[in-house]
Amino acid sequence: MTHEKLVSLNGGTKTYGHVQALRSVDFSLDRGEILAIVGKNGSGKSTLIKILSGVIQPDKGELIVGGETKHFQSPSDALHNGIVTVHQELSVIPSLTVAENIVLGNWPRKKGLTRAIDLGEMQKIARNVLEEIEEAQIDVKALVSSLSLAERQIVEIARALVQRPRILLLDEPFSTLSAHEVEVLSQKIKAIADTGLAVAFVTHRLGEVKDIATSVMVLRDGDLVIKERSDNITVEEVAQHMLGEGVDRPKHEIVRTDRISGDHDPILSLRNFSVPGKLDGIDLDIYPGEIVGIAGLLGAGRSEFLRGLLGLEPASFDQFTLSGKDIKEPDLKDMIKQGVYFVPEERKLEGFVGQFSVMENLELPKFPKLPFLSHLRWGDVRSSAQVIADRMSVKTSDLSEEITNLSGGNQQKVVLGRWIKLGDMKLFLLDEPTRGVDIHARIQIQAVIDDLAKQGVAVLMVASEFEELFDICDRLLLVSHGQPAQSIPIGETSLEAVTAQLLSA
């Protein structure tokens, strides 16, 4: 074999208490290999990445880098060995410039007494690396806070590349990107791998597996199920290995035909609804039982649209009618009272309260509805929370455990599920309801949304993965900058058509 293994982990094992996060997993990367690591939440993907990046030490297993056995005691050990990791949660600092973020921690210094940061050198380094990945249009002097999410991701990757890695680990690099941006990023990853690096990335999006990766590795419950070249395996087979249940199609067949009766008044009527600078005049009527998907590229103002409806973003409109009543100025608390419930995009930042238990997070929307100093019966709170947890299939041994212990998918179920038993739901606004959520949980969440619609709730959802919209929506609202929004019934379009339409705008 002439292939040189840049890194390998033999028999990697890690146990937390009585949970075996990783069970004797063998992992390796060749030069130029692009490996996709897939698996449900809890399958051991994060644990594997953490071991490789030096964040944790394996209980058993041999780590070999460049032919030599290594023991990483800390992330800097991994860095010194050429393993650079880009984590799922963006760690760029918004208040610093692009250049500063790129050299973060490795400031180029002037020679001499002062050892001050060499600003010119810093900008040059930043410009060079951005040019390498063909993102020279990003201004290195711009503040990261002015960049879009996708651009911030690029900066994060640039920072990784500046450290001249031999191995690049990416944890969910695509989860916040639109289809177009995924394309662009994939090309860059291929280009990076071509220069002799090895890349391994964790993803929930099985489409990427075939498009970008040269090989794919499936983990399930801590075991390595299979590692195979990506051209030797189909997406369905990968999904099957992941779920282990002989599931043929990862998609849930959602029946839409019986949903809308047609002789209702719209629950929401908007005319010329705009968010200055982000979104131009939208006309929309949405009916009870309808699921409308908002499709658009990042930056098209989709989140701002939802937030504008709730008064969280400044909005202007000619008409805003909810349940037959005209709204002059949207106010979040009023909206909640009227049965408009919202699931935000970032569950960690705005969704749950990290210090609270699963139980308390599930019941949180009930608290403001109770009299300030009324007595809380925790027994009732728990049983009420249990009802939601059961409905959403939240996997947790004890509702009293901290919500931060849950996987991303289960956390999302909590953030979404806490509204479904509150009652009086008329309109459900969902901003990326299955972002960063594994396939299993995604199907469950979609089923709940579908169920709600069957009960007459109108759903307005944003999703960057257009496939999701095609899973459950009745129609799509295409939004793009500078163009009026277009409404298309789902049956009259396709994923390719929508993507093409938005990209050509």
Those residues whose C-beta lies under 8 Å from the C-beta of residue 318, and which sit 6 or more positions away, are 271, 272
Tell me: does residue 64 bind another protein (CB under 8 A): no
Give which of 56, 57, 54 is closest to 76, Cα–Cα.
54
CB of 477 to another protein, least distance (A): 23
Choice from 19, 136, 191, 353 touching another protein (CB under 8 A): 353
Tell me: does residue 195 bind another protein (CB under 8 A): no
Tell me: does residue 356 bind another protein (CB under 8 A): yes
Q: Look-up: residue for tokens 């307005």?
A: 460
Stretch that binds another protein, among 109-117, 173-181, 273-281, 352-360 (CB under 8 A): 352-360
Measured CA to CA, the distance from residue 282 to residue 504 in angstroms comes to: 20
Tell me: does residue 376 bind another protein (CB under 8 A): yes
Those residues whose C-beta lies under 8 Å from the C-beta of residue 147, and which sit 6 or more positions away, are 98, 138, 155
CB of 367 to another protein, least distance (A): 4
Tell me: does residue 94 bind another protein (CB under 8 A): no
Tell me: does residue 342 bind another protein (CB under 8 A): yes
Measured CA to CA, the distance from residue 386 to residue 424 in angstroms comes to: 20
Measured CA to CA, the distance from residue 453 to residue 391 in angstroms comes to: 15
Judged by CB, which is closer to another protein: 432, or 465? 432
Measured CA to CA, the distance from residue 75 to residue 51 in angstroms comes to: 9
Judged by CB, which is closer to another protein: 249, or 377? 377
Choice from 137, 349, 398, 492 touching another protein (CB under 8 A): 349
Judged by CB, which is closer to another protein: 236, or 401? 401
Choice from 3, 60, 71, 369 touching another protein (CB under 8 A): 369
Tell me: does residue 354 bind another protein (CB under 8 A): yes
Stretch that binds another protein, among 155-163, 348-356, 446-454, 477-485 (CB under 8 A): 348-356
Q: Look-up: residue for tokens 């998609």?
A: 251
Those residues whose C-beta lies under 8 Å from the C-beta of residue 15, and which sit 6 or more positions away, are 21, 59
CB burial readout 81-99, b (16+ within 10 A) else e? bbbbbbbbeeebeeeebbb
- Whether residue 427 contacts residue 340, with contact meaning beta carbons closer than 8 Å, is answered with yes
Q: β-strand 68-70 against 19-30: which pairing, if any?
A: unpaired
Choice from 146, 355, 400, 483 touching another protein (CB under 8 A): 355
Tell me: does residue 149 bind another protein (CB under 8 A): no
CB of 338 to another protein, least distance (A): 12
Neighbour tally for 274: CB within 10 Å: 20
Stretch that binds another protein, among 39-47, 85-93, 142-150, 370-378 (CB under 8 A): 370-378
Choice from 117, 364, 447, 488 touching another protein (CB under 8 A): 364
Stretch that binds another protein, among 64-72, 151-159, 343-351, 493-501 (CB under 8 A): 343-351
Choice from 374, 398, 423, 491 touching another protein (CB under 8 A): 374
# residues near another protein by CB under 8 A: 28
CB of 368 to another protein, least distance (A): 4
Strand partners, 297: none
Choice from 19, 116, 191, 370 touching another protein (CB under 8 A): 370
Amino acid at the residue 466 = F
Choice from 375, 379, 398, 423 touching another protein (CB under 8 A): 375
Q: Where are the alpha helices (DSSP H) in 163-199?
A: 179-194
Three-state SS at 18: coil
**Residue 299 per-residue DSSP state:** T
CB of 363 to another protein, least distance (A): 9
Give which of 368, 80, 38 is closest to 230, Cα–Cα.
38
- x/- mask, another protein, residues 391-430, rule CB under 8 A, reads ---------------------------x------------
Three-state SS at 196: coil
The CA-atom distances, in angstroms, between 383 and each of 363, 416, 442 are: 10, 18, 25
Tell me: does residue 432 bind another protein (CB under 8 A): no
Judged by CB, which is closer to another protein: 272, or 338? 338
* 124 token code pair: 């040059």
Q: Which residues bind another protein (CB under 8 A)?
A: 332-333, 336, 342, 344, 349-356, 360, 364-365, 367-376, 378, 418
